[in-house]
Amino acid sequence: MLAASVLASPAHAQTQAPAAQQASPQHSATAPSGKAKNIIVFLADAGGVSVVNAASLLAYGEPLKLRIQQWPYLGLSETSPVDNFVSDSANGMSAIMTGIKTHNGVISQAADAVRKERDGAPTKTLLEYAEERGLLTGVITTQSIADATPAATYAHSNDRGKWGEIFPQALAPRFGDGVDVMFGAGRKKIGEQLSAAGTSFEALSQSHDRPIYASLDAVPQSNARPIVVADDMDVHAATLRALDLLEQSPEGYLLVVEWDAHTDDPRKGLENVVNFDKLIAEIENRVDLSDTLLLFTADHSFGLQVDGGQRGQDLLAGYDTWKAAEGEDAIVRLQNVLVNHSHTAEEVPALAIGAGAERVHGYFPNTHLFEIMMDALGWEPDSAALN
Ligand SMILES: [Zn+2]
């Protein structure tokens, strides 16, 4: 409530935008031309405003120390599904990737879907538009590569739990030749669900003539379109490796990188955000911001609040005691931090730098992020926006 009212205050709105632009001379030197050749989406799953703030406090003892907090353009992205106030990852990411809100649990299908019961019209994803136009594409995640957030980039399903139906869609694309680089986790559970669906990693590899490796290290240098489904994914290594491949594309590329930021375990979640931010800083230094748009956002927010603490002292005082007690409580009450184990409805940050970043401003529904990316690439959505 406090954060929202401060952000909404006209006085802040007037002083903040010019100040942010003036504060970073290097940003104006690479002023966005408005047209992006490449886009990288950094998706912090459950990384709301309060989580981003707390990550800075934890790692640096002060607010506003993350690299993403130095970016010149920001908006507040509203994440709700068509019927409820609070989103899950399936609706949240589907809306960002397709420009169309749906129901929780549904993967890139329109709101005529009934979860687990009836398919809705598939909604064409930004990744599918990119594939159709000959760009290289990549999807990377710390989570299962069939989990809702990555799935919303490449698959369509009436239920996020149907991994045996979701994962094979990566190998049978509706547009282009499908995701070029896929690095994620979830090998055991996806394998089980493939088996239940009468197939396997081996069978899919053979029928599509595309190996599915069990680790990043197993991928030969000669493979320009690698798929890795591992037990755990090192997203830092994976992202650098993916960029080596995607940067070869004369037509440009779309890369989506998800890093889990749920703060059920506050230390783990906040450290994830800090490490994600370090990776993002490395990528920001690597790419050419005159033709590449970097976008950081979240699929939905989460119930973490900082309600105490002092500079120079540990934000997570009391964490070790809570952790030792194997706290499974619905509410985590640390000295300075309160965590309600729940997704929450308030808007999430959308932060941008690079080509086309100036389009990100104000409050907007998360579907606007799809429009921003399409517009930055110079693309028009198909007429019905459904396909
Ligand atoms: Zn999520």
Q: What is the pLDDT of residues 376-387, one digit of tens each?
A: 999 999 986 554
Q: How far is the CA of 134 from the centre of ligand 1 (A)?
A: 29
Write out pLDDT tens, residues 181-211. 999 999 999 999 999 999 999 999 999 999 9
pLDDT in tens, 284-306: 999 999 999 999 999 999 999 99
For 384, the 3-state DSSP assignment is coil
Q: State the pTM of this model.
A: 0.91
Ligand 1 center to 45 CA (angstroms): 4
Q: What is the mean pLDDT of residues 129-134?
A: 98
CA of 18 to the centre of ligand 1 (A): 32
Residue 14 reports pLDDT greater than 60:
no
Query: In angstroms, what is the span from residue 372 Cα to ligand 1's centroid?
Result: 21
For residue range 359-369, list pLDDT tens digits in order: 999 999 999 99
Segment 97-111 mean pLDDT: 98
Over residues 36-46, the pLDDT tens digits come to: 999 999 999 99
Read off the pLDDT of residues 310-355 as tens digits, 9 standing for 90 and up: 998 999 999 999 999 876 678 999 999 999 999 999 999 999 999 9
- Distance from residue 282's CA to the centre of ligand 1 (Å): 24
Is 50 a catalytic site residue?
Answer: no
Q: In whole angstroms, give the CA distance from residue 228 to residue 273.
A: 23
Q: Tell me, what's the pLDDT at 384?
A: 61
Q: In the chain, where does DSSP find H-type helix?
A: 2-8, 10-23, 25-29, 49-60, 89-98, 126-132, 148-154, 163-166, 187-196, 201-208, 235-246, 266-286, 319-324, 367-377
Alpha carbon of 148 to ligand 1 centroid (Å): 8
**Residues 90-119: what's their mean pLDDT?**
98
Mean pLDDT within 234-252: 98
CA of 296 to the centre of ligand 1 (A): 14
Higher-confidence residue of 226 and 5: namely: 226
Query: Cβ distance 386 to 122 under 8 Å?
Result: yes
Rounded Cα–Cα distance for residues 99 and 170 (Å): 20
Q: What is the pLDDT of residue 383?
A: 80
The tens digit of pLDDT for each residue in 142-154 reads 999 999 999 999 9
Per-residue confidence at 272, pLDDT binned at 50, 70, 90?
very high
> Encoding tokens for residue 87?
């989103």
337, 306 contact by CB (below 8 A): yes
Q: What Å distances lie between residue 319 and 169, 275, 316, CA to CA?
A: 41, 19, 5
**Does 163 score more than 80 pLDDT?**
yes
Task: Find the distance separating the first CA and the last CA of the chain, reported in whole Å.
Answer: 40
Distance CA(108)–CA(101), nearest Å, equals 9
**Residue 271 CB neighbours (<10 A):** 16
pLDDT on residue 16 = 39
- Mean pLDDT over each residue of the chain, to the nearest integer: 92
Distance of CA 164 to the CA centre of its chain: 22
89 CA to middle of ligand 1, Å? 4
For residue 223, the CA-to-ligand 1 centroid distance in Å is 31
Residues 6+ apart with CB under 8 A from 151: 90, 93, 107, 108, 157, 160, 166
Question: What's the CA gap between 308 and 315, in Å, rounded?
Answer: 8
CA of 369 to the centre of ligand 1 (A): 16
CA–centroid distance, residue 200 to ligand 1 (Å): 27
In three-state form (DSSP H/G/I as H, E/B as E, the rest C), the secondary structure along 259-320 is EECCCCCHHHHHHHHHHHHHHHHHHHHHCCCCCEEEEEECCCEEEEEECCCCCCCCCCCCHH
Q: What pLDDT is recorded for position 22?
A: 39
Question: d(Cα 314, Cα 44) in Å, to the nearest integer?
Answer: 23
Range of lowest pLDDT (15-19, 27-31, 45-49): 15-19
Determine the average pLDDT of the residues in 213-232: 98
**Annotated catalytic residue, options 89, 94, 144, 301:** 89
CB 303 within 8 A of CB 341: yes
- pLDDT score at 58: 98
Instruction: Tell me the mean pLDDT in the region 163-171.
Output: 98
Q: How far from 192 is each of 47, 80, 181, 197, 218, CA to CA, in Å?
A: 30, 32, 23, 9, 21
Cβ(266)–Cβ(304) below 8 Å: yes
Q: How far apart are CA 129 and CA 104, in angstroms?
A: 23
Q: Please, what is the Cα angle at 39 between 35 and 40, to 5 degrees?
A: 150
Residues 6+ apart with CB under 8 A from 186: 143, 144, 145, 146, 147, 163, 229
Q: State both tokens at 33.
A: 């031309």
**Tokens for 141?**
């995640």
